[in-house]
Amino acid sequence: MRRPQLSKYIHDHLLQEHRPRLLTRADTALFYLSLAGLLVFLYDLGFAHTEAAEHLLNGFYGVYTLCLMVILVARLFLLNRAGVPKGWVMVECLLIGLAGYGVFLSFFPESFVLDDTLLGRYVEQDLLILGVLLYIFLIELSRRSLNFYRLQYNPALLFMSSFVVLIFLGMGLLLLPRATTAGISPLDALFTSASAVCVTGLVSVDTATVFTTFGKVVILMLIQLGGLGIMTFTSFLTLFFQRSSSFQNQLFMQGLINEESIGNTMRTIGNIVWITFLVEFLGACLIYASIGPADIPRLHDRLGFAIFHSVSAFCNAGFSTLSAGLYDTGYRFNYGLQLVVIALIIVGGIGFPIIFNLYRYLRETGRSRWRQFYHRERYVHTTRIINVNTKIVLLTSAALLVAGTLLYFVLEYNSTLREHSGLGKFVAALFGGVTPRTAGFNTVDMTQMGLPIVLVYLLLMWIGASPGSTGGGIKTTTFALAFLNIYSIARGKERLEAFGRQVPSKSVQQAFAVIMLSFLVIGLCTLLVAMFNPEIPLIKVAFEAFSAYSTVGLSLNITSSLSAGSKVVIMITMFLGRVGTFTLIAGVVSKANDLHYRYPTENIIIT
Considering 97, 124, 144, which residue would you say is the last residue of a domain?
144
**pLDDT tens for each residue of 492-506:** 888 888 888 888 888
Question: pLDDT tens digit string along 330-350?
Answer: 898 999 999 999 999 999 888
Q: Output the CA torsion sign for 145, 62, 67, 93.
A: positive
Domain-embedded: residue 221: no
Q: What is the pLDDT of residue 121?
A: 43
Q: What is the pLDDT of residue 119?
A: 41
- Element at 442 (helix H, strand E): none
Query: Across residues 135-142, what is the average pLDDT?
Result: 67
Query: Could you give the CA distance from residue 156 to residue 139 in angstroms, rounded to a whole number?
Result: 25
DSSP-assigned letter for residue 180: B
Q: Which of 144, 168, 186 is the last residue of a domain?
A: 144
Measure the CA angle with vertex 158, ends 215 and 467; round to 5°: 80
Q: How many Å apart are CA 167 and CA 156, to the nearest integer?
A: 17
Q: Domain for residue 362, yes or no?
A: no
Q: Which of 157-161, 321-325, 390-394, 460-464 has the lowest mean pLDDT?
A: 157-161
Choosing from 123, 144, 165, the residue where a domain stops is 144
Burial state string for 569-591 with b = 16 or more CB within 10 A and e = fewer than 16: bbbbbbbbbbbbbbbbebbeeee
Domain count across the chain: 2
Most confident of 86-100, 237-251, 255-269, 468-482: 468-482
pLDDT band at residue 598 under the 50/70/90 scheme: confident
Residue 274 is predicted with a pLDDT of 85
Q: How confident is the model over 53-79, as pLDDT tens digits?
A: 777 877 777 787 788 788 878 877 776
Asked if the model's pLDDT at residue 117 lies above 50, the reply is no
CA distances from 283 to 219, 249, 277, 302, 337 (A): 19, 32, 10, 13, 10
Q: How confident is the model at residue 81 (pLDDT cuts 50, 70, 90)?
A: low
Instruction: Specify if 434 maps to a domain.
Output: yes
Q: What is the pLDDT of residue 234?
A: 57
Task: Residue 542: give the domain boundaries.
Answer: 386-588
User: Is pLDDT above 80 for 100?
Assistant: no
Flag whether 602 is in a domain.
Answer: no
- In angstroms, the Cα distances linking 45 to 48, 51, 177, 340 are 8, 14, 9, 33
Q: Is residue 162 part of a domain?
A: no
What mean pLDDT value characterizes the chain?
80
24 belongs to a structural domain: yes
Q: How far apart are CA 436 and CA 456, in angstroms?
A: 9
Find the mean pLDDT for residues 28-43: 80
> pLDDT band for position 232 (50/70/90)?
low
DSSP state of 378: P
Residue 110 has pLDDT above 70, yes or no: no
Pairing of the two strands 497-498 and 501-502 = antiparallel
Residue at 545 is within a domain: yes
Q: At what angle do helices 265-290 and 299-314 cross, to 10 degrees?
A: 140
Whether residue 553 is contained in a domain is answered as: yes
Mean pLDDT of 171-176: 90
Considering only the C-alpha atoms of the chain, give the largest distance between any 2 of them, rounded to a whole number of Å: 100
CB of 411 closer than 8 Å to CB of 450: yes
Distance from CA of residue 144 to its chain's centroid? 21
- Across residues 390-419, what is the average pLDDT? 92
How would you label 318-339 residue by residue, b for 16+ Cβ within 10 Å and e otherwise? bbbbbebbbbbeebbebbebbe
- Is the separation of the CB atoms in 171 and 196 below 8 Å? no
How many Å from the N-terminal Cα to the C-terminal Cα in the chain? 97
